[in-house]
Amino acid sequence: QAAPNDPEIRLLGARIALSRLDFATALRLTEGMQTTEASSIRGRSHWYAGDIEQAADDLEAMLQDPTVKDPWARDVSGLARRGQGRHPFAMEGGLITSVDMPHAGPALVVPCELEGESILALVATAVGEVVVDSATRHEPAWVNLRFGDRVEVKDVPALTQDLSGISRQLGAPIKALLGVNLLRHIHVTFDRRGDQFVVRKADPAPPPDASRVPLWYVRGGGMLVRAGVGTTDDSFTAL
């Protein structure tokens, strides 16, 4: 309020807004700014808001800076250009479905279908997008996922990565990571006691007895929560 036109303050406010998924504010604060960081914030805001064509424009503008090394932006801008006419995360089928999760210690492993193939996927709140194993798909693509026998999610943007190390660590063939962008769109809840992964078309009602924990998102992607450790009042931010 004291310096509404200061570019550094506007960029800081836009970064904070993006971390809170307040895309409209992030776009308003960076309007008219032609810097690389402003293009990055606008591109991510448009992408996570579902405006994929505008996201491609801003991410490509950012990548024109030769000092920028951003593999996510490179892959997503290509997906966005190839995604014209698509409706990301369109859900078909029932209103709700639950999937039984196998025991995997602290990991959340979810049986699902990727393009009609039965696979095991790992819930990964540290990443923004769905990631598929590069051994089966060599470049980013738009894919379809099915959970249970009732809900199919179409036009899911997916990046690629070698997941063999994760598979060895868990002792199971993990073929995909389910990132935060997907989890938000399919309104997921986890029942750890019942080992169920629940997908819904709409947000569920909050439990009657529960603690509400504020969430933030790294540049709109990976999920962060604040938690206390030890006996002091100090706290830290953890994934």
**pLDDT tens digits for range 6-37:** 999 999 999 999 999 999 999 999 999 999 99
Selected residue with higher pLDDT from 124 and 226: 124
Tokens at 88, concatenated: 């990301």
Quick check: 192 pLDDT over 90? no
**How far apart are the two ends of the chain, measured CA to CA in Å?**
32
Percentage of the chain modeled with pLDDT above 90: 78
Q: Does the CA dihedral 60-61-64-65 come out positive or negative?
A: negative
- Residue 87 C-beta-side C-alpha neighbours within 13 Å: 5
**pLDDT tens digits for range 99-154:** 999 988 889 999 999 999 999 999 999 999 999 999 988 899 999 999 998 899 99
Percentage of the chain modeled with pLDDT above 70: 96
Of the candidate ranges 14-18, 70-74, 106-110, 209-213, the one whose mean pLDDT is the lowest = 209-213
Quick check: 237 pLDDT over 70? no
Decide the pairing of beta strands 151-161 and 141-147: antiparallel
Query: What is the rounded distance in angstroms from the CA atom of residue 53 to the CA atom of residue 108?
Result: 33
Quick check: 215 pLDDT over 70? yes
- pLDDT given for residue 174 in this prediction: 96
Selected residue with higher pLDDT from 155 and 84: 155
Selected residue with higher pLDDT from 174 and 191: 174
Instruction: State the average pLDDT for the chain.
Output: 92
- CA quadruple 190, 162, 131, 113: dihedral, nearest 10: -70
CB 72 within 8 A of CB 159: yes
CB 133 within 8 A of CB 175: yes
- pLDDT given for residue 234 in this prediction: 57
Average pLDDT over residues 58-84: 94
